[in-house]
Structure 1
Amino acid sequence: MKDLLNAAEMKAVDQRSIEEYGIPSLVLMERAALEVVKRARELLEPGLSGNEALEHGPGRERLLKERKRKTVWAVCGFGNNGADGAAAARMLTLQGFSSVILLPSLEGKRSRELEVQLSIAEKLGIPILTLGDPLPEACDLILDAVFGIGLSRPVEGVYKELIGLMEEKRQRELVPVAAVDMPSGISSDTGAVMGCAVKADVTVTFGMRKVGQALFPGREYCGRLFVEDVGFVPGDPEQAGEHVHAHGPEDLMEIPRRRADSHKGTYGKILVIAGAKNMAGAAYFSALAAYRTGAGLVKIMTVEENRSVIQERLPEAVLSSFDPQWASEEPGEFKEYIRSQTGWADAIVLGPGLGQEEYARTLVEAVLSDAYVPIVMDADAVNLAARYPYLKGYFTENIILTPHVLEFSRLTEKPVEEIKEDPLAAAREFSDQYGVTCVLKDAATVTARKDGKLFINLSGSPAMAKGGSGDVLTGVIAGLLAMGMDDCEAASLGVYVHGLAGEAAEKKYGVHSVLAGELAGCIGEVVNGNV
């Protein structure tokens, strides 16, 4: 598990390292600049191998001549991010490249570290320019070192001009951009574009990944992200639980292993309540994913019309079908039937493809009021709760909701734009209000767990943007629950496993061609440690 830090948390780590432990700020800065230079050279000299050998061998003179023909623009703000950029420009100059430092203006309140770096640059003859000066025609790489993680308000004035200049060079002249710590114009707390922003090819960040680098659109603006250790002293471990988190490959070890002396009952029983008429696929994908994740026994409760499809596609599943008319003609018997089915299960999937007919509302209400095992509530079950708000009165700590943004908007009556602006806050507020775990699905899915922890998912692929992917997710989470995993862990880790399966499916079938069944088929590679 990794911690993702916001701006205030990262500044506290920086301050702690300098003030409490006495690590000089300039030492941290030099190490940061070295990491930026490493990535900058990869952009300036793509495909060049054995750089160090060339520099000290027969090819050194030719290499230096080639480097002198390449010009780096270090676009720097007045803070320590600008100082990082100026230090990197100096290092690139000493390695043979031509560099210029471009400031917002010659006047302005500069950090002490920036003054030091500019003084060194002046002694080395590195041009220090502003937008009012004639700029070099050549530009082979831009170092974006304007704001870093410090931006807290919309970009305007001369800074907007600087970002506009960098973007024009990037778009029209295809000049690559290496961002220092954070692409300028992106909020490090939310990933939002603060009026305008630079789109980087590479971002080199220091210490830990930032929240805004995990959420969209910031995640996309970062390009390839490199998280580098520059010598910060880690924060107080007791405060780690307060950070936003992300799962990593090491967390797959938490998935329960299979024992030699086990049987199907050892790995739990899942009831999938899904699939209206002509929606058999939703029930099938959830059940298939639950089996692929490791569940011992899966029962599908669906309408009679889906029987033949389910029996043909997934004969491993137990089937319990019903006539929807039964709910209106014999409501008491129907509810007793539901009670008997939910009493059998160790975990329940409720809602995929269920429809919003009256019988579906009766079914959802009965399950929410009678079942005490973990319930993964998705799709039409969520839509019914939005349509009939009294159903939210049944929400308790055994429920995991998995709405996508539009469904969450219906459920909370908040505009989609407001939710996307700060999905962490939206999911956290809902989880706190109802005491549930909320998996808010989007390109970067957010999980607000009932234990108070927030997760942003870092796995996944655009190949997963297909019908049925959400049904697969419900099955993955339910499968982890059935095997005995804690419901909070099953929710956040299930999202991560689902995303890894999407990545594996993309490699096999291509980004355009993955189907939900193929996504489910790749779950085994993940849970068995083959990715």
Structure 2
Amino acid sequence: MRTLVTAKQMKAVDAHTIHTIGIPSMVLMERAALWVAEEAEALAGQRDAVWAVCGTGNNGADGVAAARMLYLKGYQACIYVVGNLEKGTEEFKAQVSIARRLGMEVRPWTGAADGECCLLIDAVFGVGLSRPIEGEYRQCMEMLSEKRIPHTIAVDVPSGIHGDTGAVMGIALKADVTVTFGWEKTGTALYPGREYAGRVKVCDIGFPETALGAVAEAEEGCGYAFTYGPEDLALIPGRPAYSNKGTFGKVLIAAGSRNMCGAAYLSALAAYRTGAGLVKLLTVEENRQILQERLPEAIIVTYTADQLVSGREEFKRMIEEQMNWADVVVLGPGLGSEPYVEYLVEDILTSAFVPVIIDADGLNAIAGHPYLTTYYTENIIITPHLGEMARLTGEGIDAIKENLAGAALEYAGRYGITCVLKDAATVAAGKDGTLYINSSGNSAMAKAGSGDVLTGIIAGLAAIGMEEEQAALMGVYLHGRAGDAAARQTGQHSLLASDLAHAIGRAMEPAME
């Protein structure tokens, strides 16, 4: 598990390390610059021109120090400054003074306009950027973008990327490598910041782990985001030798409508592939034959629209019977938008005493009939994509995209549920403020049915014994790993949702090829 920090958290860790622990700022800065210089050497030839374009804060000071280290090794390293040098931080002024005493020229950024560069050290802005870039800073960054410099190393975060949300603050510089310090920032784990950051290298410059705990303790509600890695697959429960199908849980999937059986199939297949012992599909009668043929392992229970509308009491009793059977429920994939769906969603939510994963048309029914949120309980997991989240909240898609983590945390906290907000970098928020940002997966997964596979994975994990919130977080990670495994087999363009489901077994192996 890797910790991810916001700009505010990182600043607090930095201040605690310097003022409470007593490690001088210049010591941290020299270590940071060493990492940047080392990465530059890996990319640049000895005769290449290297530019460090620096703002006047401590991020710029890191860039000046890195340029000086390269200069002393014989590189053609030049320092260009954006902003008023005289108003720089004390550390920045000290680094500029050192560079000048060694014979380096420190020039205004405009001096780079007519030059050529092979490697750029981007040290204009650090994690503290909070408003759109304007004036000479924007002019400088536009000039650098137009030059199409072969290699760029960003210091801590790419300039122009919001350190928390990953948003582009008017303009941003794309990096091949982002050298960040202590812990990765949430802004480079979320899109579009993740794309601008390139490869992120997290470097130890001397921040003690205890600083994280001290900051969290001092600031109420200061929880850290995190992401999973292969080592965390150990959290998935094993399969005892002395067991039977009932040992590994019973999943009920209420899904599918007339001419829409694919979602039900994919969700059920994924639940089985993840390890569930029994999967039962609750669907319309029209889907019975094809689902029995495609997935004979599944139990099929069917209903008709007339049963839902005209035989309400009898149908409720049938739903209660199914709820008593299930250990976990999936509600929504492919249900459609007929009027009866509202009643189906209501009946399941009022009868369920086990984890319920609500997706797709289940969420659309709730968005169309907000009273259904009164049936939310702490064992509810919702898995909306951006459009579904917009319908649930009344917020625009663009507003949600600007702060994906904030949107998930707000909704989860408001209703006391787990919210999995799907995007290129999916985030999952728990009712207690837990924030997970996914690091697995790829664009090949952007295909119809991918979300249905995710619901099945989460259900399968809950069925084999994972607590619902942890099943949601691990499900997101496992889903992305399955996408990575499947894409290697099919290629980026040809992956199908069924390929994802069939790759789950490989994805559950830590040493996945």
Matched, 1:160 2:138: yes
8 Å contact from structure 1 (residues 256, 483) kept in 2: yes
Aligned-residue identity in percent: 54
2:151 equivalent among 159, 176, 190: 176
Show the counterpart of 2:264: 283
Secondary structure of the 2:180 match is: strand
1:187 equivalent among 140, 162, 166: 162
Show the counterpart of 1:463: 444
2:358 equivalent among 377, 381, 388: 377
Provide the rounded CA distance (Å) in 1 between the counterparts of 2:402 and 2:225.
17
Amino acid corresponding to residue 486 of structure 2 in structure 1: A
Matched, 1:82 2:56: no
Output aligned runs, 1:31-430, within 5 Å. Answer: 31-45=31-45, 67-68=46-47, 70-105=48-83, 107-133=85-111, 137-170=115-148, 174-234=149-209, 235-237=211-213, 239=216, 242-430=223-411
The 1:399/1:419 distance shift into structure 2, 3 A limit, reads same
Provide the rounded CA distance (Å) in 1 between the counterparts of 2:203 and 2:413.
34
Secondary structure of the 2:111 match is: coil
1:436 equivalent among 404, 410, 417: 417
Show the counterpart of 2:467: 486
8 Å contact from structure 2 (residues 56, 83) kept in 1: no
- Taking structure 1 as the reference length, what is the TM-score of the superposition? 0.93
8 Å contact from structure 1 (residues 16, 233) kept in 2: no
Provide the rounded CA distance (Å) in 2 between the counterparts of 1:124 and 1:98.
14
Provide the rounded CA distance (Å) in 1 between the counterparts of 2:112 and 2:291.
71
Amino acid corresponding to residue 180 of structure 1 in structure 2: V
Deviation at 1:383, TM superposition (A): 0.2
1:522 equivalent among 499, 503, 507: 503
Deviation at 1:426, TM superposition (A): 1.3
Provide the rounded CA distance (Å) in 1 between the counterparts of 2:238 and 2:116.
58
Amino acid corresponding to residue 458 of structure 1 in structure 2: S
Give the total of aligned pairs. 506
Secondary structure of the 1:270 match is: strand
8 Å contact from structure 1 (residues 129, 135) kept in 2: no
8 Å contact from structure 1 (residues 276, 353) kept in 2: yes
- Taking structure 2 as the reference length, what is the TM-score of the superposition? 0.96
Secondary structure of the 2:315 match is: helix
Secondary structure of the 2:173 match is: coil
Provide the rounded CA distance (Å) in 1 between the counterparts of 2:296 and 2:418.
32
Runs of 4+ in structure 1 over 4 Å off: none
Provide the rounded CA distance (Å) in 2 between the counterparts of 1:323 and 1:216.
43
8 Å contact from structure 1 (residues 99, 127) kept in 2: no
Provide the rounded CA distance (Å) in 2 between the counterparts of 1:378 and 1:467.
14
Matched, 1:3 2:3: yes
Secondary structure of the 1:349 match is: strand
The 1:374/1:118 distance shift into structure 2, 3 A limit, reads same
5+ residue gaps, structure 2, are none
Matched, 1:445 2:431: no
Show the counterpart of 1:62: none
Deviation at 1:236, TM superposition (A): 4.2
1:330-354 alpha-carbon deviations (Å, 9 max, x no partner): 2222222122112110000000001
Provide the rounded CA distance (Å) in 2 between the counterparts of 1:127 and 1:162.
18
Deviation at 1:324, TM superposition (A): 2.2
Deviation at 1:356, TM superposition (A): 1.4
Deviation at 1:390, TM superposition (A): 1.4
1:301-336 alpha-carbon deviations (Å, 9 max, x no partner): 111111121111111111112222222232222222
Deviation at 1:452, TM superposition (A): 2.4
8 Å contact from structure 1 (residues 191, 218) kept in 2: yes
Provide the rounded CA distance (Å) in 2 between the counterparts of 1:512 and 1:145.
36
Amino acid corresponding to residue 448 of structure 2 in structure 1: G
5+ residue gaps, structure 1, are 46-66
8 Å contact from structure 2 (residues 80, 111) kept in 1: no
Deviation at 1:166, TM superposition (A): 1.5
8 Å contact from structure 2 (residues 413, 432) kept in 1: no
Deviation at 1:196, TM superposition (A): 1.1
